[in-house]
Chains A and B, each alone.
Chain A
Amino acid sequence: MAYSDKLIDHYENPQNVGSMDKAAPDVGTGLVGAPACGDVMKLQLKINDDGIIEDAKFKTFGCGSAIASSSLVTTMVKGQSIEAAEQIKNSDIAAELALPPVKIHCSVLAEDAIKAAIADYRKKRAQQG
């Protein structure tokens, strides 16, 4: 089975690996996992007052496709509004990386991570009043 160049590139040179301060009010953190394969993915988004994603960092423990999916996602959401980021579908990620069918769930995990990070950010904002 051949993996796409784009997938291999994101796996070998992952973009935006790292972490941000989980407690910061402008940072949303999404931590998601896939019980069937045991992969864990953490995605953090730094969002400004205009609702624009200024920065994104990720750390994924899992297979190459999970790492590539999360790396790609950070590059897709940077500079986007929250609303635009929320529209990203796992099928967009899968198509971009040409994920084989058995790895589609990795893109689902990445989509879940975006949604979880945004939900965390919104919850923080709501708590601040």
Chain B
Amino acid sequence: MICWRCREKVEGPLCVSCGALQPPPAAPDHFDVLGLDRAWSVERQEIDAAWRARSRLVHPDRFAAKSAVERRMSLQWTAAINSARRALRDPVRRGWYLATGRDRPADEPGGSLDPDFLEQIFELQLEAQGDPQGVAAQASAMRDAVMGELDARLQAWEQGDRTAPPTGVTELLDRMKYLDNLAQPGA
């Protein structure tokens, strides 16, 4: 990219030549926005650290006395890094983003889930009315098993060239919330 102010080549949010804030990408990739490699195995602390580093560069306080253009870009950058942090911090959200290239809306209606699994969840919910702790322990073990499988598949994907999105993971991700609800009743 070319700096909009001094016409030098730029990478990242700020121009190294003139210090001008650059516009955030039009269709931002959450990993790009934070300056991270596209990966599954990334610690929460790494994401937080990347977010903090970017936040220091693009924070609106730094641009309060600058031009209207830069003030607006600073707000756009801040929104973009905040969304990126939210989408990548949680492993389930991160897996979803890697697999689909988008954030999952909180109100997304039903998917096509294995009917036997749904039946099992329903039965566990019924059982939980009498024995919440027993069911919570069972659901927690099931959740760990799904997470283990998810982790194995995404690590295998990570070993490749990472150009194509990982496959076969959305169905596993779809199971997580049902199991979370059972594993942490009232949470």
Q: How far is the CA of A36 from the CA of B109 in the complex (A)?
A: 7
Instruction: Select the stretch in A8-16, A49-57, A76-84, A105-113 that faces chain B.
Output: A105-113
Q: How far is the CA of A114 from the CA of B121 in the complex (A)?
A: 19
- Asked whether A40 and B125 contact (CB < 8 A) given A31-B119, A33-B178, A35-B174, the answer is yes
When each residue 81-109 of chain B gets 1 if its CB lies under 8 Å from chain A and 0 otherwise, what string results?
Answer: 00000000000000000000000111111
Instruction: Flag if A61 contacts B107 (CB, 8 Å).
Output: no
Contacts of B113 in A (CB 8 A): 33, 35
- Asked whether A35 and B178 contact (CB < 8 A) given A40-B121, A108-B110, A112-B110, the answer is yes
**Prevailing SS type, chain B contact patch:** helix
Q: Is A38 an interface residue (CB 8 A)?
A: yes
Q: Is B186 an interface residue (CB 8 A)?
A: no
Contacts of B108 in A (CB 8 A): 34-36, 105
Q: Is A37 an interface residue (CB 8 A)?
A: yes
| B177 partner, pick from A35, A102, A109, A112, beta carbons under 8 A | A35
Instruction: Flag if A38 contacts B180 (CB, 8 Å).
Output: yes
Q: Is B111 an interface residue (CB 8 A)?
A: yes
Q: Nearest Cβ distance between residue B45 and chain A, in whole angstroms?
A: 27
Instruction: Flag if B111 contacts A35 (CB, 8 Å).
Output: yes
Instruction: Flag if A42 contacts B106 (CB, 8 Å).
Output: no
How many pairs of A and B residues are in contact by the CB < 8 Å rule?
62
Instruction: Flag if B110 contacts A40 (CB, 8 Å).
Output: no
When each residue 87-115 of chain A gets 1 if its CB lies under 8 Å from chain B and 0 otherwise, what string results?
Answer: 00000000000000011110011001000
Q: How far is the CA of A109 from the CA of B113 in the complex (A)?
A: 13
Q: How far is the CA of A112 from the CA of B115 in the complex (A)?
A: 14
Instruction: Flag if B109 contacts A112 (CB, 8 Å).
Output: yes
Instruction: Flag if B107 contacts A103 (CB, 8 Å).
Output: yes
Q: Nearest Cβ distance between residue A78 and chain B, in whole angstroms?
A: 22
Measured CB to CB, the nearest residue on chain B to A42 is B122
Q: How far is the CA of A97 from the CA of B157 in the complex (A)?
A: 45
Instruction: Flag if B122 contacts A61 (CB, 8 Å).
Output: yes
Q: Is B118 an interface residue (CB 8 A)?
A: yes
Contacts of B177 in A (CB 8 A): 35-38
Contacts of A59 in B (CB 8 A): 122, 126
Q: How far is the CA of A40 from the CA of B128 in the complex (A)?
A: 14
Q: Is A32 an interface residue (CB 8 A)?
A: yes
Q: Is B76 an interface residue (CB 8 A)?
A: no
Contacts of B109 in A (CB 8 A): 34, 36, 105, 108-109, 112
A-B contact pairs, 15 of them (CB 8 A): A31-B115, A31-B122, A32-B118, A33-B121, A34-B109, A35-B175, A35-B178, A36-B105, A36-B177, A37-B106, A37-B107, A59-B126, A61-B122, A61-B125, A112-B109
